[in-house]
């Protein structure tokens, strides 16, 4: 048993590692620049004056360092020889991405770098010469081109944009433009595409984004929400209460109803009772909960039809902390009836079917036949002998239900506007608040993992016949 | 009446399945829905199937097909943009519903019910099940939504069945102590595979991404090129092992832990919260139906893999497999031609349940408006429109009913197949 437990936990660690890696990878593929998101786009707009631009650039760099986004992504990297080690130092994700594409196409980093530096020089020369009235209308066009150019991934587009730029620049800036043009034209001439096909290994150690993210995550620091700049852990903590309350109630209810139902249909196997229970449970099982929820909202919660229940939310608008406790409880209870029903019926159907199968299997065991042969009354055989053993698989199901409970049901909480984890992550999905989405996913994944671990261990504890020492 | 009795297990399972009336009827209904999905354009479209216009016989739907699929120019300029319901024709054979799902009928917006008064030119133009908030026809949406739902179910389960059967069959057939290779092959092969993956999917990732965003066919082509890289590089790196095999170190035979590796992979996949993963990926990536199908398929193969593995374990110890070995057939041939066909029955159960749950997940996603492009009309998005149109009972009832029906059908099918192929149940 101890050995099994140890092995199980030992397997838990690498799986946990893989799962955190997966969610980190997903978070990496989220579009947009996280630093700009955190600064609410202030850094992106830049400014008119060179000094102003330098200040925003400074703010961007500072924020980026604060978030650790100037670090390499992972402990090590296997990259083509062409891709330089220093690429992640370049500010702005889009610029990094564009330069990376160029490197993958031409394989010659020094020339790509020369192009980038020439571009930077042109940019600062342009903003240093701001006061000239000779610009007229074209100034804003040049500005737009200058901000788009570093993000351009397609070589042909770069050439096109450079041509446009030359027609609009003042003569004093043309030498800077010529430098950029020369660097760009040098790209295909000095291309070394073979460098893309030679893999190299680079080692970065623990000073990397993933390590930082993982350590923060294990300390309960999930980052900052894009939407309201609050710590995600705080938002999650507020949300998780409602998911917990509703799910606890509905799970207890589901077990309370499902077990007797399952026993009834197993004991009367094949009878009309069994068949009608089985068929209705089967229908319930296939009934999409978001349909039932929507129907409930449309038909029972005000609108044009019955107004039996409030239209979503967990408390009425006049609800206040000054109310006596019973009144608050009644208010909450009134709001939660419909959601709890919808939450319950799905798991109810699933659990009763499991209960029925488990009891049917137990009733065919030899020891049950022995008990019957001894002349024990049927009731005692069912409840004292068979029932207890058939509970084992049902109880272990609880452990796998728990994680679903925490991550909440995204759809149901959205339908009933319950401010839980699911609703929180739906809001984040709509608002493209990636750190929140990733945090909810990672927590859900880790809890699923723990749930499965607990279920396996529970199973081994309650059923001594199961031996895990040898596969 | 004479009944041909056949005693092959497959025929017996089929007989048992047919006796299960509900399951058998479900099979027919699924077939019917398949026909509806295929012929959706002939059931609901804003042009006639065939019409006589100014003395000429025209087949408008087929002309649209020709333009859409084959890039032909079939429409005359004056007929291209014309609303066929409004023009004078000699005669016309119309589809059941005279609207396409995306069409906004502004005179019947917002949300006109089936029994409400509708602003239409003739009774034939009625919206039989009403419209949604934007005046889109509900029945037309449901008919075309059948196509999307069934496609999602079939494609995503197709992907997961492909992965699951392949991995499960390998794990079950080879186990940990059957597949023996020389050390040289093992090491060089692994190295080659890693390098192949590097070239195929890392170096080519930008090319793959661009192909994906330009469409399904370019992506398929680009993906195939990646596969070529993978096979080519792996092969080239592996080649020297033919020489190395002759050395003492390289020639030693070692077992490949096929089962252990695949079982660990399955365990890791199971411990992922699949639904949450699908939601997360769909929320972060650009909305696309193909992506939704791919993600569902890539995360739900574990059940099929476990079933196939279990069956393979049973089948591989049977005498006829031994006989095939004794005849000197290759492992691959025995696995795919002899063992696999006899292990597929339980997989059918998984496939039926898998289709049901894939359809459920997709409608949940489009209900929330995540992952599926906003202009695509699906059962889920139609049901979601009931939330913004208060009092529109038809929007709450019919799309949900469609989802419920299809999910139930596939669940009943799954149960029916399970009962039919499980000999333990037959004995009872």
**Domain CATH for A294:** 1.10.3720.10
Q: Which two tokens stand for residue B422?
A: 């499980």
What is the per-residue pLDDT for A5?
76
Q: Is the dihedral of CA A368, A369, A372, A378 positive or negative?
A: positive
- Number of Cα atoms under 13 Å in the Cβ half of residue B289: 22
Q: Binning pLDDT at 50, 70 and 90, where does residue A44 land?
A: very low
Give the separation between CA B212 and CA B223, rounded to whole angstroms: 9
Contacts of B53 (CB under 8 A, 6+ apart): B79, B87, B89, B90
pLDDT tens-place string over residues B207-241:
888 887 777 788 889 999 999 999 999 999 989 88
The residue from A218, A246, A272 where one domain ends is A218
One domain for residues A213 and A300: no
Contact assessment for residue B410 and residue B349, using Cβ atoms and an 8 Å cutoff: no
Is the Cβ pair B271, A434 closer than 8 Å? no
Q: Which two tokens stand for residue B244?
A: 């190395």
Give the separation between CA B99 and CA B286, rounded to whole angstroms: 29
Do you find a cis peptide bond into B190, omega within 30 degrees of 0? Answer: no
pLDDT tens-place string over residues B281-305:
888 888 888 888 988 999 889 989 9
Q: Does A270 touch chain B (CB under 8 A)?
A: no
The DSSP annotation for B46-105 comes to SS-SEEEETTEEE-HHHHHHHHHHH----S-HHHHT--TTTS--SEEEPPSB---TT---
Give the burial class of A129: count Cβ atoms within 10 A of its Cβ; 0-12 exposed, 13-18 middle, 19 or more buried: middle
Q: Binning pLDDT at 50, 70 and 90, where does residue A1 land?
A: low
- Number of Cα atoms under 13 Å in the Cβ half of residue A466: 13
The residue from B255, B276, B304 where one domain ends is B255
More confident of the two residues A3 and A104 = A104
One domain for residues A409 and A333: yes
Which contacts (CB < 8 Å, 24+ apart) does range A46-53 have? Answer: A46/A147, A48/A127, A48/A130, A49/A127, A49/A130, A50/A124, A50/A127, A50/A128, A50/A130, A53/A127
Q: Does B279 touch chain A (CB under 8 A)?
A: yes
On chain A, the residues whose CB falls within 8 A of the CB of B408 are 282-283, 286
One domain for residues B34 and B113: yes
One domain for residues A263 and A350: yes
What is the per-residue pLDDT for A407?
65
Give the separation between CA B143 and CA B97, rounded to whole angstroms: 10
On chain B, the residues whose CB falls within 8 A of the CB of A288 are 360, 363-364, 400, 403-404, 407
pLDDT over threshold 50, residue B427 = no
One domain for residues B274 and B400: yes
What is the per-residue pLDDT for A292?
92
For B202, which DSSP code?
Answer: I
One domain for residues B71 and B184: no
One domain for residues A267 and A334: yes
Parallel, antiparallel, or unpaired: how do β-strands B91-93 and B50-53 relate? antiparallel
One domain for residues A338 and A432: yes
Q: Which two tokens stand for residue B160?
A: 């997961």
The residue from A188, A218, A248 where one domain ends is A218
Q: Does B356 touch chain A (CB under 8 A)?
A: yes
Rg (CA), chain B: 27
What is the per-residue pLDDT for B6?
55
pLDDT over threshold 70, residue B425 = no
Mean pLDDT for B76-96 is 84
Q: Which two tokens stand for residue A93?
A: 């994700």
Query: In total, how many domains does chain A have?
Result: 2
Helix (H) or strand (E) holding A56: helix A50-67
Q: Tell me if A3 is assigned to some domain.
A: no
Q: CA separation (Å) from A252 to A245, A265, A307, A396, A417?
A: 11, 20, 27, 14, 22
Q: Tell me if B232 is assigned to some domain.
A: yes
More confident of the two residues B327 and A52 = B327
For chain B, helix, strand, coil in percent to 5 are 70, 5, 25
Is the Cβ pair B276, A414 closer than 8 Å? no
- A 277-336 → B contacts, CB under 8 A: 282-283, 285-288, 290-292, 294-295, 297-299, 303-305
For B287, which DSSP code?
Answer: P
On chain A, the residues whose CB falls within 8 A of the CB of B284 are 26, 29-31, 434, 437
One domain for residues B242 and B368: no
Is the Cβ pair A29, B285 closer than 8 Å? yes
Is the Cβ pair B271, A15 closer than 8 Å? yes
Contacts of B6 (CB under 8 A, 6+ apart): B12
On chain B, the residues whose CB falls within 8 A of the CB of A292 are 400
Query: In total, how many domains does chain B have?
Result: 3
The residue from B225, B255, B285 where one domain ends is B255
What is the per-residue pLDDT for A156?
87
- Of residues A104, A285, A297, nearest to B206 (C-beta): A104
Give the separation between CA A177 and CA A121, rounded to whole angstroms: 9
One domain for residues A345 and A423: yes
Name, of A102-106, A140-144, A333-337, B152-156, the range with top average pLDDT.
B152-156
Q: Which two tokens stand for residue B386?
A: 């009931």
Give the separation between CA A21 and CA A208, rounded to whole angstroms: 13
What is the per-residue pLDDT for B232?
94
ipTM: 0.83
One domain for residues A167 and A276: no
pLDDT tens-place string over residues B359-369:
999 999 999 98
pLDDT tens-place string over residues B5-51:
556 777 888 888 888 888 899 999 999 999 999 999 899 888 888 88
Residue B12 belongs to domain with CATH number:
1.10.3720.10
pLDDT tens-place string over residues A402-426:
776 666 688 889 989 899 888 998 8
Give the separation between CA A267 and CA A382, rounded to whole angstroms: 8
**Nearest-5° Cα angle at A361, A359 to A363:** 65
**Min CA distance, A421 vs chain B (Å)?**
12
A292: closest CA among B396, B353, B384, B358? Answer: B396
Contacts of B298 (CB under 8 A, 6+ apart): B159, B160, B163
One domain for residues B306 and B381: yes
pLDDT over threshold 70, residue A169 = yes
Helix (H, G, I), strand (E, B) or coil at B131: strand
Is the Cβ pair B273, A425 closer than 8 Å? no
Give the separation between CA B46 and CA B83, rounded to whole angstroms: 8
One domain for residues B236 and B268: no
List the single best residue of B212, B232, B280 to mutate versus A (max A Cβ within 10 A).
B280
What is the CA A331 to chain-centroid distance, rounded?
32
B156: closest CA among B279, B271, B289? Answer: B289
- B 217-276 → A contacts, CB under 8 A: 267-268, 270-273, 276
Q: Binning pLDDT at 50, 70 and 90, where does residue A440 land?
A: confident
What is the per-residue pLDDT for B423?
58
The residue from A171, A192, A218 where one domain ends is A218
Q: Tell me if A226 is assigned to some domain.
A: no
Where b means 16+ CB within 10 Å and e means fewer, B103-116 reads bebeebbebbbbee
One domain for residues B21 and B162: yes
Give the separation between CA A103 and CA A196, rounded to whole angstroms: 8
Contact assessment for residue A34 and residue A47, using Cβ atoms and an 8 Å cutoff: no
What is the CA A459 to chain-centroid distance, rounded?
30
**Min CA distance, B14 vs chain A (Å)?**
23
One domain for residues A95 and A136: yes
Q: Does A22 touch chain B (CB under 8 A)?
A: yes
Parallel, antiparallel, or unpaired: how do β-strands B253-255 and B180-182 relate? antiparallel
**Nearest-5° Cα angle at A117, A111 to A123:** 140
Q: Tell me if B1 is assigned to some domain.
A: no
pLDDT tens-place string over residues A268-306:
888 888 889 888 888 888 899 899 998 888 888 877 777
Is the Cβ pair B271, A445 closer than 8 Å? yes
Is the Cβ pair B273, A444 closer than 8 Å? yes
One domain for residues B80 and B147: no
Percent of chain B with pLDDT over 90: 28
What is the per-residue pLDDT for B363?
92
Contact assessment for residue B177 and residue B315, using Cβ atoms and an 8 Å cutoff: no
Is the Cβ pair B273, A407 closer than 8 Å? yes
- B 394-423 → A contacts, CB under 8 A: 396-397, 400-401, 403-404, 407-408, 411-412, 415
- Of residues B273, B364, B369, nearest to A290 (C-beta): B364
On chain A, the residues whose CB falls within 8 A of the CB of B203 are 80, 104, 196-197
Residue A363 backbone phi and psi in degrees, to 5: -65, -15
Q: Tell me if B229 is assigned to some domain.
A: yes
Q: Does A437 touch chain B (CB under 8 A)?
A: yes
One domain for residues B282 and B301: yes
Least confident stretch, A306-310, B320-324, B329-333, B409-413? A306-310
Domain around A310? 232-462
Q: Does B391 touch chain A (CB under 8 A)?
A: yes
pLDDT tens-place string over residues B120-155:
778 788 888 888 888 888 999 999 999 999 999 999
What is the per-residue pLDDT for A408?
63
One domain for residues A40 and A178: yes
pTM for this prediction? 0.85
More confident of the two residues A108 and A471 = A108
One domain for residues B141 and B158: yes
pLDDT over threshold 90, residue A96 = no
What is the CA A34 to chain-centroid distance, rounded?
16
Average pLDDT, chain A: 83
More confident of the two residues A55 and A468 = A55
**Min CA distance, B20 vs chain A (Å)?**
14
One domain for residues B202 and B328: no
List the single best residue of B284, B298, B366 to mutate versus A (max A Cβ within 10 A).
B284
Q: Which two tokens stand for residue A462?
A: 């309650």
On chain A, the residues whose CB falls within 8 A of the CB of B384 are 294
pLDDT over threshold 90, residue A149 = no
Is the Cβ pair A294, B364 closer than 8 Å? no
Is the Cβ pair A411, B367 closer than 8 Å? yes
Q: Binning pLDDT at 50, 70 and 90, where does residue A470 land?
A: very low
Contacts of A335 (CB under 8 A, 6+ apart): A309, A310, A313, A314, A315, A316
**Min CA distance, A56 vs chain B (Å)?**
28
- B 18-77 → A contacts, CB under 8 A: none
Q: Does B195 touch chain A (CB under 8 A)?
A: yes
Q: Binning pLDDT at 50, 70 and 90, where does residue B107 land?
A: confident
**Min CA distance, A215 vs chain B (Å)?**
21
Helix (H, G, I), strand (E, B) or coil at B310: helix
pLDDT tens-place string over residues A201-221:
888 888 888 899 899 988 988
One domain for residues A390 and A294: yes
DSSP β-bridge partners for residue B182: B253
Q: Is the dihedral of CA A344, A347, A353, A354 positive or negative?
A: negative
One domain for residues A135 and A243: no
On chain B, the residues whose CB falls within 8 A of the CB of A31 are 284
Is the Cβ pair A304, B390 closer than 8 Å? yes
Domain around B65? 46-94
What is the per-residue pLDDT for B380?
93
Helix (H, G, I), strand (E, B) or coil at A47: coil
One domain for residues B56 and B129: no
On chain B, the residues whose CB falls within 8 A of the CB of A448 are 271-273
pLDDT over threshold 90, residue A64 = no
Q: Binning pLDDT at 50, 70 and 90, where does residue A471 land?
A: very low
More confident of the two residues A393 and B193 = B193
One domain for residues A329 and A452: yes
On chain A, the residues whose CB falls within 8 A of the CB of B393 are 298-299, 305
What is the per-residue pLDDT for B169?
92
Q: Does A405 touch chain B (CB under 8 A)?
A: no
Is the Cβ pair B396, A197 closer than 8 Å? no
């Amino acid at each position: 048993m101890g050995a099994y437990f140890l092995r199980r936990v030992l397997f838990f660690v690498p799986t946990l590692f893989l799962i955190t890696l997966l969610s980190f990878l997903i978070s990496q593929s989220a579009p947009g620049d996280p630093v700009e998101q955190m600064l609410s786009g202030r850094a992106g707009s830049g400014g008119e004056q060179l000094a102003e631009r330098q200040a925003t650039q400074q703010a961007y760099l500072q924020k980026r360092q604060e978030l650790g986004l100037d670090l390499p992504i992972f402990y090590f990297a296997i990259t083509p020889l062409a891709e330089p080690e220093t690429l992640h130092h370049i500010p702005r994700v889009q610029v990094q991405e564009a330069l990376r594409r160029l490197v993958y196409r031409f394989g010659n980093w020094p020339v790509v770098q020369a192009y980038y530096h020439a571009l930077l020089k042109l940019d600062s020369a342009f903003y240093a010469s701001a006061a000239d009235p000779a610009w007229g209308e074209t100034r804003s066009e040049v500005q737009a081109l200058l901000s788009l150019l570093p993000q351009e991934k397609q070589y042909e587009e770069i050439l096109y944009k450079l041509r446009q730029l030359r027609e609009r620049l003042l003569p004093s800036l043309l030498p800077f433009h010529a430098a950029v043009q020369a660097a760009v034209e040098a790209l295909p001439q000095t291309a070394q595409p073979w460098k893309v096909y030679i893999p190299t290994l680079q080692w970065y150690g623990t000073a990397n984004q993933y390590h930082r993210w993982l350590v923060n995550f294990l300390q309960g620091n999930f980052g900052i929400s894009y939407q309201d700049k609050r710590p995600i852990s705080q938002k999650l903590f507020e949300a998780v209460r409602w998911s917990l309350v509703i799910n606890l109630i509905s799970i207890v209810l589901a077990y309370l109803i499902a077990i007797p139902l399952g026993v009834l249909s197993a004991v009367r196997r094949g009878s009309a009772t069994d068949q009608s229970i089985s068929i209705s449970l089967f229908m319930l099982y296939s009934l999409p909960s978001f349909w039932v929820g929507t129907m409930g909202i449309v038909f029972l919660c005000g609108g044009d039809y019955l107004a039996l229940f409030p239209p979503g939310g967990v408390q009425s608008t006049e609800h206040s902390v000054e109310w006596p406790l019973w009144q608050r409880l009644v208010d909450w209870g009134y709001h939660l009836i419909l959601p709890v029903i919808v939450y319950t019926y799905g798991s109810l159907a699933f659990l009763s079917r499991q209960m029925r199968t488990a009891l049917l299997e137990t009733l065919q065991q030899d020891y049950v036949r022995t008990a019957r042969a001894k002349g024990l009354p049927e009731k005692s055989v069912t409840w004292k002998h068979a029932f207890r053993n058939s509970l084992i698989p049902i109880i272990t199901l609880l452990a796998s239900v728990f994680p679903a409970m925490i991550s909440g049901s995204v759809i149901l909480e959205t339908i009933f506007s319950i401010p839980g984890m699911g609703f929180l992550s739906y809001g984040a999905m709509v608002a493209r608040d990636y750190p929140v989405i990733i945090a909810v996913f990672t927590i859900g994944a880790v809890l699923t993992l723990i749930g499965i671990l607990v279920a396996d261990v529970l199973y081994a504890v309650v059923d001594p016949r199961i031996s895990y020492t040898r596969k | 009446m004479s009944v041909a009795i056949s005693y092959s297990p497959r025929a017996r399972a089929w007989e048992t399945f047919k006796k299960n009336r509900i399951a058998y009827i479900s099979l027919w209904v699924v077939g019917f829905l398949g026909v509806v999905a295929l012929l959706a354009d002939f059931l609901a479209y804003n042009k006639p199937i065939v019409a006589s216009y100014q003395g000429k016989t025209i087949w408008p739907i087929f002309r649209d097909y020709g333009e859409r699929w084959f890039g032909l120019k079939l429409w005359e300029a004056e007929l291209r943009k014309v609303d066929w319901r409004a023009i004078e024709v000699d005669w016309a054979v119309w589809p059941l519903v005279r609207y396409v799902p995306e069409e906004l009928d502004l005179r019947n917006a917002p949300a006109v019910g089936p029994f409400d008064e509708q602003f239409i030119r003739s009774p034939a133009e009625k919206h039989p099940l009403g419209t949604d908030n934007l005046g889109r026809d509900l029945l037309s949406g449901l008919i075309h939504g059948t196509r999307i739902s069934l496609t999602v179910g079939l494609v995503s389960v197709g992907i997961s069945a492909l992965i699951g059967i392949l991995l499960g069959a390998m794990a079950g057939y080879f186990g940990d102590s059957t597949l023996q290779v020389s050390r040289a092959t093992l090491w060089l092969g692994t190295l080659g595979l890693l390098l192949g993956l590097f070239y195929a999917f890392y170096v080519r990732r930008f090319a793959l991404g661009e192909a994906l965003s330009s469409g399904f066919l370019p992506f398929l082509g680009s993906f195939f090129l990646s596969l070529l890289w993978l096979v080519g590089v792996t092969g080239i790196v592996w080649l020297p092992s033919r020489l190395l095999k002759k050395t003492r170190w390289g020639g030693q035979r070692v077992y490949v832990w096929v089962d252990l590796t695949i079982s660990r992979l399955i365990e890791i996949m199971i411990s992922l919260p699949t639904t949450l993963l699908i939601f997360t990926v769909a929320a972060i990536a650009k909305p696309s139906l193909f992506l939704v199908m791919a993600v569902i398929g890539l995360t739900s193969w574990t059940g099929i893999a476990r079933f196939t593995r279990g069956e393979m374990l049973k089948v591989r110890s049977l005498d006829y497999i031994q006989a095939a070995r004794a005849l000197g057939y290759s492992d691959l041939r025995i696995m795919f031609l002899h063992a696999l066909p006899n292990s597929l029955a339980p997989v059918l159960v998984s496939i039926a349940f898998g289709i049901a749950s894939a359809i459920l997940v997709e409608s949940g996603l489009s209900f929330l408006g995540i992952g599926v492009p906003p202009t695509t009309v699906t059962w889920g998005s139609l049901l979601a429109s009931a939330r913004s149109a208060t009092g529109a009972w038809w929007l709450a009832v019919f799309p949900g009913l469609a989802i419920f029906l299809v999910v139930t059908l596939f669940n009943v099918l799954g149960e029916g197949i399970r009962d039919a192929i499980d000999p333990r149940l037959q004995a009872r």
